[in-house]
Amino acid sequence: MEAILKDPAGAVIGLDFDGTLSPIVADPAAARIHPEAPAVLAELGGHVGAVAIVTGRPVVTALELGPGLADVPGLVILGHYGFERWEDGRISAPPPPHGVLQAEAELQLLLGSLGVKGATIEDKGRAVAVHTRRSPDPEGTLAALREPLAALADKHGLVVEPGRLVLELRPPGMDKGHALGLFLAERAARSVMFVGDDLGDLAAFDAVKNSGLPGVTVCSGSAEVTALAERADIVVDGPDGVVALLRELASAYGRS
Ligand SMILES: O=P(O)(O)OC[C@H]1O[C@H](O[C@H]2O[C@H](CO)[C@@H](O)[C@H](O)[C@H]2O)[C@H](O)[C@@H](O)[C@@H]1O
């Protein structure tokens, strides 16, 4: 934290979206960014080298669920685990993968044949996610889906990204760690902080450690996922705690 405070221009602050900047809710489409997050990110952005959101969401969805983010100066959003990039109002992304459409076409039938109840499909464009939060037995349904979804992903050249009561079928070749590592190199970062809450953020935690830079990992804590808290330098209480920490950091910069 010392390096981040002493040399703000060299600091990169990376943040996950769901569960970190946006409280977890039952319906993924109803998620909304913490109301104070855009303002505090804008304040931070005025001090540090760069602020980046690294999310499993498509960037368009992150912008919809995060009104105000588009006005945060200098913000970069790396969506779809880093396949997509939004910056200065422009999106860049590789062509959508073929396997996703094929897997999605078979998914409904597969869920029916397994007799699972309450699993919902999220069409993410270049990925497809199956959520079990609204099932009568969220954990049991998730467990029952693991193997069949792994087989479906394999059949279509995809990988399964596990998360908070969700299994996502997505293309291989990118993760939050790779995305963050590339961004740190691009910005010639001299220190880094990454804040996350879910299994997909572990790769970003690894990237912080592997960067060789002075780095801080922060877990947006929950009872649902404990793996990050075990590895984090700092654990805060969900998105409220994340916003409070970011505000403290921005105030510290303001005082110096
Ligand atoms: O990388 P993230 O920004 O953390 O996105 C990961 C996934 O988040 C979303 O699902 C999670 O949040 C939902 C809304 O709070 C919740 O209902 C669900 O149970 C969580 O798993 C999103 O729907 C996925 O597409 C993201 O990949």
Q: Which of 153, 170, 187 is the last residue of a domain?
A: 170
Query: What pLDDT, on the 0 to 100 scale, is given for residue 254?
Result: 81
Query: What pLDDT, on the 0 to 100 scale, is given for residue 1?
Result: 83
Cβ neighbours of residue 186 closer than 8 Å, sequence gap 6 or more: none
Residues 155 and 211 in one domain: no
Query: What pLDDT, on the 0 to 100 scale, is given for residue 95?
Result: 87
Q: Is the pLDDT assigned to residue 229 strictly greater than 90? A: yes
Model confidence at 196, pLDDT cuts 50, 70, 90, reads: very high
Query: What pLDDT, on the 0 to 100 scale, is given for residue 189?
Result: 98
DSSP 26: S
Cβ neighbours of residue 60 closer than 8 Å, sequence gap 6 or more: 79, 91
Helix-strand-coil split of the chain, %, nearest 5: 45, 20, 35
Q: Which of 170, 192, 227 is the last residue of a domain?
A: 170
Residues 67 and 188 in one domain: yes
CATH of the domain at 162: 3.30.70
Ligand 1 binding site (Cβ under 6 Å of any ligand atom): 16-19, 24-26, 28, 31, 55-57, 122, 124, 129, 131, 133, 163-166, 168, 198, 200
pLDDT in tens, 27-77: 999 999 999 999 999 999 999 999 999 999 999 999 999 999 999 999 999
Q: How many whole angstroms separate alpha carbon 168 and alpha carbon 98?
A: 16
Q: Predicted ipTM?
A: 0.99
Residues 32 and 47 in one domain: yes
Average pLDDT, the chain: 96
Determine which helix (DSSP H) or strand (DSSP E) holds 218, and give its type and residue range: strand 215-220
Residues 182 and 115 in one domain: no
Residues 42 and 152 in one domain: no
Q: Residue 217 Cα, ligand 1 centroid: separation in angstroms?
A: 20
Q: What is the pTM of this model?
A: 0.96
* Main-chain phi, psi angles of 109, to 5 degrees: -65, -45
Q: Which atom of ligand 1 is nearest to the CA of 26?
A: 17
CATH of the domain at 25: 3.40.50.1000
Q: How many whole angstroms separate alpha carbon 211 and alpha carbon 209?
A: 6
Residues 201 and 246 in one domain: yes
Residues 71 and 41 in one domain: yes
Q: How many whole angstroms separate alpha carbon 191 and alpha carbon 212?
A: 9
Query: What pLDDT, on the 0 to 100 scale, is given for residue 108?
Result: 92
Write the single-letter amino acid at 115: G
Nearest CA to ligand 1 atom 25: 57
Query: What pLDDT, on the 0 to 100 scale, is given for residue 96?
Result: 82
Residues 178 and 164 in one domain: no
Query: What pLDDT, on the 0 to 100 scale, is given for residue 99?
Result: 95
CB atoms within 10 A of CB 254: 10
Residues 177 and 82 in one domain: yes
For residues 122-147, average pLDDT: 97
Q: Which of 133, 149, 170 is the last residue of a domain?
A: 170
Q: How many whole angstroms separate alpha carbon 72 and alpha carbon 160?
A: 32
Nearest CA to ligand 1 atom 5: 56
Query: What pLDDT, on the 0 to 100 scale, is given for residue 187?
Result: 97
For residues 131-160, average pLDDT: 97
Q: Is the pLDDT assigned to residue 255 strictly greater than 80? A: no
Q: Residue 7 Cα, ligand 1 centroid: separation in angstroms?
A: 33
User: What is the residue range of 52's domain?
Assistant: 2-94+173-255
Pocket test for ligand 1, best of 18, 126, 165 (most atoms within 8 A of CB): 18
Please state the domain count of the chain: 2
Residues 39 and 73 in one domain: yes
Residues 23 and 148 in one domain: no
Residues 194 and 165 in one domain: no
Lay out the sheet containing 191-196: strands in order across. 90-92, 84-87, 76-79, 50-54, 11-15, 191-196, 215-220, 234-236
Nearest CA to ligand 1 atom 27: 56
pLDDT in tens, 67-112: 999 999 999 999 999 999 999 999 999 988 889 999 999 999 999 9
